[in-house]
């Protein structure tokens, strides 16, 4: 019963977030025109865009894994780049809609995260794991954002200035924090302790993609070099329960 309510709640959440960002985009275009103008690219807007697109990377990797077809995977990734959190929340909403009644009752987040073919194979080993590459990639992205943040603070001062809140900066921040909300659902699922979950979500809100990359790297170091990369998506308990059921 609780799992079913969770699944329905997350469907509603992602639908509302998707519609909210779509409305924000339409409103901003109507009051401030299209965003393809040089005057919009202030130093803090550039830093925000770097932050935003680093946060898009984990979604793009996950979508590429979820989609069986290379073409549909590539199309979704392009839409992520072009439409940001509208695509993120829209894709998540579709994945929750696709769940069978049984999956919704069992563990909706687990079934959404994993590709169907991997749900009964969570102990698979691979000779050429991508875990090491992923650790390096997200570490580099985290340091890239940290460097961008420090550089922008030194060259343009504090971001907490009223003149920086242009219509497109506001829209970008809404877009960014809707993606953060989506990531927060995953963090809450991954963390067994609500205190640590709230701690990481607070860091996500304050430091954006720096926290995203740090959290993913932390979770990747819980895997061995031979583990398949998709195991980072689910909790250790889910992996153990699934393996037990498969053996049984």
CA distances, 6 to each of 103, 153, 174, 236 (Å): 12, 40, 24, 20
Assign 3-class secondary structure to 126-166. Answer: CCCCCHHHHHHHHHHHHHHHHHHHHHHHHHHCCCCCHHHCC
Write out pLDDT tens, residues 27-43: 999 999 999 888 899 99
Of all residues in the chain, the percent with pLDDT exceeding 90 is 81
H/E stretch holding 82 reads helix 70-83
Q: Which residues contact 13 (CB under 8 A, 6 or more apart)?
A: 181, 185
Averaged confidence pLDDT in the chain? 91
Other CB atoms within 10 A of residue 81 CB: 12
Q: How far is Cα 216 from Cα 200, in angstroms, rounded to an integer?
A: 11
Nearest Cα neighbor of 204 from 174, 183, 233, 232 is: 183
**CB–CB of 122/242 below 8 Å?**
yes
Give the mean model confidence (pLDDT) for residues 65-88: 97
Give the mean model confidence (pLDDT) for residues 97-124: 82
| Predicted confidence band of residue 116 (pLDDT cuts 50, 70, 90) | confident
User: Is a pLDDT exceeding 60 seen at residue 124?
Assistant: no
Nearest Cα neighbor of 113 from 238, 219, 214, 218 is: 238
| Domain ranges for the chain | 40-83+125-247
pLDDT at 2: 76
Query: At 45, is the secondary structure helix, strand, or coil?
Result: helix
pTM exceeds cut of 0.85 = yes
pLDDT at 244: 36
Write out pLDDT tens, residues 125-161: 554 569 999 999 999 999 999 999 999 999 999 999 9
pLDDT at 60: 97
pLDDT at 247: 34
pLDDT at 75: 97
Of all residues in the chain, the percent with pLDDT exceeding 70 is 90
pLDDT at 118: 64
Q: How far is Cα 117 from Cα 68, in angstroms, rounded to an integer?
A: 10
User: 204-227 burial, b for 16+ CB within 10 Å, e for fewer?
Assistant: beebbbbbbbbbbbebbeebeeeb
């Amino acid at each position: 019963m609780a799992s079913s309510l969770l699944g329905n709640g997350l469907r509603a959440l992602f639908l509302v977030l998707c519609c909210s960002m779509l409305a924000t985009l339409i409103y901003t275009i109507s009051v401030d025109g299209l965003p393809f103008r040089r005057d919009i690219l202030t130093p803090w807007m550039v830093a925000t865009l770097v932050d935003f697109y680093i946060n898009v990377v984990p979604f793009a990797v996950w979508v590429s894994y979820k989609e069986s077809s290379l073409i549909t995977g590539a199309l979704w990734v392009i839409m992520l780049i072009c439409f940001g959190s509208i695509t993120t929340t829209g894709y998540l909403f579709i994945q929750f809609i696709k769940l069978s009644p049984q999956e919704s009752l069992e563990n909706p987040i687990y079934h959404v995260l994993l590709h169907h073919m991997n749900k009964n194979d969570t102990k698979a080993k691979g000779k050429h794991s991508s875990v090491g590459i992923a650790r390096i990639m997200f570490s580099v992205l985290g340091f890239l954002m940290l460097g961008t943040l420090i550089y922008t603070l030194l060259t343009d001062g504090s971001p907490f200035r009223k003149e920086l809140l242009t219509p497109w900066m506001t829209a970008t921040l809404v877009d960014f924090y809707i993606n953060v909300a989506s990531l927060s659902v995953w963090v809450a699922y991954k963390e067994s302790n609500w205190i640590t979950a709230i701690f990481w979500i607070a860091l996500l809100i304050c430091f954006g993609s720096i926290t995203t990359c740090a959290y993913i790297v932390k979770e990747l170091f819980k895997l061995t070099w031979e583990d398949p990369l998709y195991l980072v998506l689910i909790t250790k308990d889910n992996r153990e329960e699934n393996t037990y059921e498969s053996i049984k």
